[in-house]
Amino acid sequence: MNDTVKNWAIFLAAFALVALGVYGFYHFSESALVLRILMVIAGLAAGAGVAYFSQQGKDFVGFAKDSIDEGKKVAWPTRKETIQMTLIVFAFSVVLAIFLFVVDISIAAIIQWLTKRG
């Protein structure tokens, strides 16, 4: 079997499993909500499990693992640095809001003054 046809068949089966989970959610509408949600989750898990066996699925898992490894290499800021930067952004936002308020009031006053004279 051609790899392209095989991958399409795998994705079709995965989509069918997800669709079956969603169908179960609506078909069993009189059942408990928890069970209906579990049907959707089971359909998603089964679809993901089947999709893993395609080449794209294996490539995606490899990409996800590499992304996690890269995330571990990042020099994340300390709690103190995060709080300081958050406060700086907050203070700048307040100053900018005050500035825009003053500009707005000034322009409104100028327009009002101009329209009263004319």
3-state SS record for the chain: CCHHHHHHHHHHHHHHHHHHHHHHHHHCCCCCHHHHHHHHHHHHHHHHHHHHCCHHHHHHHHHHHHHHHHHHHCCCCCHHHHHHHHHHHHHHHHHHHHHHHHHHHHHHHHHHHHHHHC
Residues 6-11, mean pLDDT to the nearest whole number: 86
pTM tops 0.75, yes or no: no
pLDDT at residue 118, rounded to an integer:
46
- Enumerate the domain spans of the chain: 1-75, 77-118
pLDDT of 17-43, one tens digit each? 999 999 999 999 898 999 999 999 999
The model's pLDDT over 57-103, given as tens digits with 9 standing for 90+, comes to: 889 999 999 999 999 999 989 999 999 999 999 999 999 999 999 99
